[in-house]
Amino acid sequence: MSGAISAGAYTAGVFDFLIEALEAWEAARGRADVPNHRVGLKAMSGASAGAITAAIGAIALADAESKGPGQYGEYIRDGFAFRYTLPRLYEAWVARPTFVAEASNVTDLLSDSDLKKEWSGEADFSRTTDLPPADPKAPAVVTSLLNARLLDEIAGDAIAVKQLAQTPRAYISTTLHIYLTLSNLRGVPYLVPFNGGDYHMISHGDRVHYGVTGLGGWPSASAFGDSDPQRAVDKTELAGSQAGRNKWKDFSICALASSAFPVGLAPRLVGAKQAEYAQRRFPMEDIVEDKTIVPNWRPPAPASTPFRFACADGGIIDNDPFEYARFALKEESELKTPPAECVLTLANRAVIMITPFPEEKPILPDGEPSTDIVSLITALMPSLIDQARFKPDELALAACEDRGSRYLIGPSRDDENNVQQRYGIASGLLGGFGGFVARAFRDHDYQLGRRNCQRFLQASFAVPEGDPIVESWPPAVVRENYKAIRTKEDDENNRPDYYCLIPLIDKAAAPVERPKWPRISMDEFNKLQDRIATRFDLVAPLLLNQNVKGVLGALLGLVLLPVINKIPGLARDKALAFIKWTIYADLVRRDQIEDWTLPGNLGLENDDARLILAELLNPKYDLRTVNGILRAVGPSASREIKAAEVETMLQTLKTQSGRHFQVWEAPDDWTAKYGTKLYALVIRAPSAVSGYLAVGLGLDFFKPTFDAD
């Protein structure tokens, strides 16, 4: 389960339906007309949002409140029923995490409870229970721009299971191996000996391995997972002694540590023992059984020595930890070699990767970044993250075209005419934080995850005709009922029929309804901006007090913060404006805000027209040129857009008086001065005063920024 920030709601929806399908099949097992083979779940691995879903998903499997076959929880909005079968997972991903809570007395990501005092005892999820608790009398410290205390509440509620499920699930392994990736900011030291001296390295890519028992009744071993150091936790400990409950609390804290998005969400402190690293197995064929790879602890200490470290988002270094799931499925004889059963007709195991953002990530255009210091520094961090996530060993395995051991479920959204839409998930704006803007976005994605999982089980997770699994079905099974959906390519290439590996039984076969694409109102958008400003005014002075002392801090306060009589500070206004227009641009680009229904005479598809409008909202520039807009939208447009088409669209929108998307064109003297036509939306057009100062008086300080031709 990949890292995805708020788009984890999609991952959670996929997992929700997967469990529904397995439960329905298990309930029907023994009927003569139902396929009698088994599919079992042995391991889960996750990063960031995927770690949260894996952890709470495991807890949901232990919860007696989870729905049985054919039963659903529902949330009704605008006549549509958003369904779920794992209430604990739905609550954690859809109902709770938001920038602006519907009720004023509820913690949200922009409230101030984290700035008042540290929590302690049961409520403190900032550190694992083997570490000293936070000092409740310590002054408030800003640990993140957003209020991560909300995540503490969600984690606390998640492990507060009132009643445990009594019967182990037959399709879950007796030990469910769960791997959560961490970015260990302290680092683990290693040494490479050479003749003549030693070479030292530090690894920051870390993980925690849990072996969860009591959830399942399938006796299944894992050559990799069983021999890898693990933290053991049992289902019964959720409702057992304090020591047992603390194990589950630490489990949830490790998931929070994996999802601690740098700066945005608070880091977590994790306690470990050096023994956890002594016999650690690496998911790489060449070294998986090499037990000589041990940390170079200095000074040497017993294996029981505590090792404590702060964690940031596990997705920084390993955002898609499918290698841990792959190795957990290996037999002992396969640990040193890639799996022989890669071919579909031989495969009996598979890794399913759930990722809300599988799309291609384009490289920078030719000439970028430029060689100035700021551009290089800006490009450096994304480059380091991309390199850390690069997995050449997995590329080699992908060479087998007929592989039947790896599958992917990514967002796919069609309309009522079965036409694929440009944007799959509603939470994709703001780099993945957009789902926190509105519950409607998260509800959509959870439901879409359920719908996409159902389609995946019907069309992709299947074996061909003649496979031993299919041949073993009882004679009374009507194979036609479990035939996988055929595609146009299947017919054109005369491919054989395929049959579903997880058959959809009874209500699990009923189509998951298509959710309506969600939009927020301008009132909701404006309320969000007010809350952002309030949070900014609370966090900024605390950050200054923490990091800048004395006269310098006071002077910076005059510039950065509102002062006497709430006179706005220059930097404050610029920061809030940048945030506002960035969010607004993404909402417009993705058609997720109301009152932006475009006229039908623009000469472009609506999706492409919105790309252009979003560029007019881009806070990086005050004004835009046609060529600058074309350069920006080129990689995203559905086809190559011509300059004349953009010019025609902008001229047409100049006539849309009173609409949000009415376009303003700079006067002729501006064109003469700057050598190009300049455009903006009327809602962002420069004032008469600033225009006169910039052009009439020629004051460069007031010169608008624009993308020069």
Active site residues: 48, 313
Three-state helix/strand/coil letters over 469-504:
HHHCCCCCCCHHHHECCCCHHHHHCCCCCEEECCCC
**How far is it, in rounded angstroms, from Cα 46 to Cα 314?**
9
Report which of 125, 1, 17 is spatially closest to residue 54, judged by C-alpha positions: 1
Q: Which residues contact 49 (CB under 8 A, 6 or more apart)?
A: 1, 2, 3, 4, 5, 6, 7, 8, 11, 259
User: How do strand 351-354 and strand 406-409 relate by DSSP bridges?
Assistant: parallel
Q: Token digits for 287?
A: 């070294």
d(CA 302, CA 307): 11
Q: Other CB atoms closer than 10 Å to residue 331's CB: what's the count? A: 14
Taking the C-alpha atoms of residue 325 and residue 177, their distance in angstroms, rounded to an integer, is: 9
Contacts 24+ apart (CB under 8 A), 658-661: 660/595, 660/596, 661/596, 661/598, 661/613
8-28 vs 439-459: helix crossing angle, rounded to 10: 50
Torsion, Cα 369 635 441 517, to 10 degrees, reads: 170
Distance in angstroms (rounded) separating the CA atoms of residues 514 and 24: 21
329, 42 Cβ separation under 8 angstroms? yes
Q: By C-alpha distance, which of 405, 411, 403, 412 is closest to 501?
A: 405
Residue 299, preceding peptide bond in cis (omega within 30° of 0): yes
CB hemisphere CA count around 172 (13 angstroms)? 25
Task: Give the residue from 156, 91, 161 showing the smallest Cα distance to 123.
Answer: 156
CA gap 467, 471 in Å, rounded: 6
C-beta of residue 19 within 8 angstroms of C-beta of residue 85: yes
Q: At what angle do helices 550-560 and 570-589 cross, to 10 degrees?
A: 50
Q: What is the spatial distance between Cα 691 and Cα 74, in angstroms, rounded to a whole number?
A: 54
Q: Tell me the residue type at 11.
A: T
Exposure of 161 in the CB half-sphere (CA atoms within 13 A): 29
**How many other C-beta atoms can be found within 10 angstroms of the C-beta atom of residue 318?**
25
Q: Scanning the structure block, which residue is given the tokens 């991952």? A: 11
* β-strands 351-354, 306-312 pairing: unpaired
Q: Torsion-angle region of residue 420: left (phi > 0), alpha (psi -120 to 50) or beta?
A: beta
Q: Which two tokens stand for residue 420?
A: 């694929």
